């Protein structure tokens, strides 16, 4: 079986985790600090603040903006539910632009259509490991005085015109088990703003500046040294992992390039994709049998695949009648959710595995 994602942590990780256990410092300590400084370097951001998961990273990034009820955040309709849940937990109202089929990310035009006097934050999602168009979105944010919070949960080390995802505004990353870099559960917030980083550090630790001196109503958003020790050894090998992912993506594109009606993912000019997912759009006539295609890939060819995501993020009963979830037309996302299918692209695929994946998809579509 070729799984859609693989977690493989080696001897170096085992020994570093053991060091932490033996050190007696198992909550937030020096390993978290080391992970923060090395991650800031990867992103090209001045500051990085580690937290306990990617959802909290988003929540905290919004909480420090002191939003009022009714303040609006514009985000992508095609994302993991955490993006929307974070907006709601921060007490803001969510609005949705639409995506471009070329990069699956929020478009500047659709953002402009959703701007209101209450808009306070733009929250693009760098889906599958490729950034949104940060020139266009950053331009709107600057022109309107909006905060820019990037959901970079899938985009560790991705770049847009040489700049790292998470370095344009406040960057929010996830280290969940299946992400490109992992601590099991974990997250990171990056920023170039020293004051914001300071507020995030205080918020993360019960709003406490010094022992029993509280300056805001905070929370426990802390990461542990045990978690940081799981991620640290991955950083040294990450460039090599990205080379593998990129080579696998290029080979898949080559092997699938002539399949009629199949839309392949692209790396757009000026962007460095980190291939968290390799997501194709099935030919329209195959969309209704997507579940059967997934079953056949698995049962007949031993190939894992996944649907990220099967519906637009607001299209669930639990969000339907909420005043803080404002839905607009999202024709591109509506089409993409019906046709998307993610194939294995991870760094542990052999050359033969990549051929197996492509051959299997060709077979089930023919």
Instruction: Identify the active-site residue in 31, 47, 120, 179.
Output: 179
Q: Which residues bind ligand PLP (CB under 6 A)?
A: 53-55, 79-80, 82-83, 125, 151, 153-154, 174, 176, 187
Catalytic-residue membership of 179: yes
* DSSP per residue, 119-169: EEEEE-B-GGG----HHHHHHHHHHHT-EEEEE-TT-TT-EETTEETTTTT
Nearer to ligand PLP, 160 or 262 (CB): 160
Question: Which residue has its beta carbon closest to ligand PLP?
Answer: 54
CA distance 92 to 354: 43
CA distance 300 to 358: 13
Nearer to ligand PLP, 156 or 301 (CB): 156
Nearer to ligand PLP, 169 or 360 (CB): 169
Contact status, residue 78 vs residue 127, Cβ threshold 8 Å: yes
Both tokens of residue 253? 């594109």
Nearer to ligand PLP, 96 or 176 (CB): 176
Both tokens of residue 192? 């170039």
CA distance 97 to 184: 31
Minimum CB separation from ligand PLP for residue 79, in Å? 5
Minimum CB separation from ligand PLP for residue 83, in Å? 5
Minimum CB separation from ligand PLP for residue 31, in Å? 18
Minimum CB separation from ligand PLP for residue 121, in Å? 15
CA distance 123 to 166: 11
Please report where in the chains the tokens 């080390």 appear, as a residue: 157
* Residues classed as catalytic: 179
């Amino acid at each position: 079986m070729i799984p859609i994602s693989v977690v493989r942590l080696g001897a170096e990780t085992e020994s570093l985790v053991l060091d932490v256990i033996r050190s007696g410092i198992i909550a937030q300590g020096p390993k978290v600090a080391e992970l923060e400084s090395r991650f800031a370097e990867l992103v090209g951001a001045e500051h990085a603040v580690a937290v306990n998961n990617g959802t909290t990273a988003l929540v905290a990034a919004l909480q420090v903006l002191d939003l009022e009820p009714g303040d609006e955040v514009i985000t992508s309709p095609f994302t993991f539910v955490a993006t929307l849940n974070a907006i709601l937990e921060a007490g803001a109202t969510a609005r949705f632009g639409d995506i471009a089929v070329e990069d699956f990310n929020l478009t500047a035009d659709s953002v402009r259509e959703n701007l209101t006097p209450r808009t306070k934050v733009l929250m693009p999602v760098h889906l599958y490991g490729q950034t949104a168009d940060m020139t266009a979105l950053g331009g709107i944010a600057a022109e309107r005085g909006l905060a820019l919070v990037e959901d970079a949960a899938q985009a560790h080390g991705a770049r847009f015109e040489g700049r790292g995802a998470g370095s344009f505004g406040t960057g929010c990353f996830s280290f969940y088990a299946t992400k490109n870099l992992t601590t099991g559960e974990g997250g990171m917030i990056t920023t170039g703003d020293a004051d914001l980083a300071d507020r995030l550090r205080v918020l993360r630790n019960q709003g406490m500046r010094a022992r029993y001196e509280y300056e805001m109503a905070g929370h426990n958003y802390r990461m542990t040294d045990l978690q940081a020790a799981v991620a640290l050894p991955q950083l040294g090998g990450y460039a090599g992992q990205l080379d593998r992912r990129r080579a696998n993506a290029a080979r898949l594109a080559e092997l699938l390039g002539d399949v009629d009606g199949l839309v392949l993912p692209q790396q757009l000019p000026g962007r460095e994709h980190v291939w968290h997912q390799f997501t194709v759009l099935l030919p329209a006539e195959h969309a209704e049998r997507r579940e059967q295609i997934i079953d056949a890939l698995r049962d007949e060819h031993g190939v894992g695949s996944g649907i990220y995501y099967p519906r637009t993020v607001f299209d669930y009963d639990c969000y339907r009648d909420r005043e803080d979830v404002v839905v607009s037309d999202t024709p591109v996302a509506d089409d993409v959710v019906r046709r998307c299918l993610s194939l294995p692209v991870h760094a542990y695929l052999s050359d033969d595995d990549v051929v197996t994946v492509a051959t299997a998809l060709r077979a089930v579509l023919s």
